[in-house]
Amino acid sequence: MTWCSPPPPGPPPGADVEAYDRRTEELTEYLESHRDDPAYASDDATPGRVRELLTLGADPEIADALCTVEMALVAAENVPTALPVVCPHAMLRLRIPRVFEALCRYSTAPATEQSWYAVAAHLPRPWRDRCEELARRADSRSTEL
């Protein structure tokens, strides 16, 4: 498994399998309902947000990792019950210093503050601390406007 590979599928050991499956289904339904959203449209195999990050100067591996972490933000805002499903994926990426640095640069828009705190609540330390730092950065950007 490489640093950007997802964890094995399925719930973590000891998890409530039915609740995990329900959350996964809710997140899948949300993502499917936005399949035709122009923000996610793509004329090639590269997702729109990845292309946007590449245009902004992110390395391909970092752009992919950022999108994985940003899925937790999408879940926090739209399907909060799915956070236990997506946060382990985000946690794997948050451990990489270059990904955290890129998140500080590209993923702390003012509107993300509360989502970062929601993600932080589902992660152990030190990843919780990193998400709280991202939330503080988003908050400081909102006061700059």
Q: Convert the pLDDT of each residue in 21-54 to its tens digit.
A: 777 777 677 767 766 665 555 556 677 888 889 9
Query: Domain tally for the chain?
Result: 1
Q: Is residue 105 part of a domain?
A: yes
What domain range includes position 103?
Answer: 19-32+46-144
One-letter amino acid of 28: T
Q: What is the pLDDT of residue 4?
A: 40
Cis peptide bond upstream of 60, omega within 30: no
Highest mean pLDDT among 2-11, 24-33, 82-91: 82-91
Most confident of 7-21, 84-98, 131-145: 84-98
CA–CA separation, 46 and 59 (whole Å): 13
Burial class (CB in 10 A: 0-12, 13-18, 19+), 88: middle
Residue matched to tokens 């006061």 = 143
The whole-number pLDDT of residue 145 equals 46
Please indicate, yes or no, if residue 128 is contained in any of the structural domains.
yes
* Residue 6: inside a domain: no
In a domain, 69, yes or no: yes
Q: Which residue has the higher pLDDT, 10 or 45?
A: 45
Would 3 be classed as within a structural domain? no
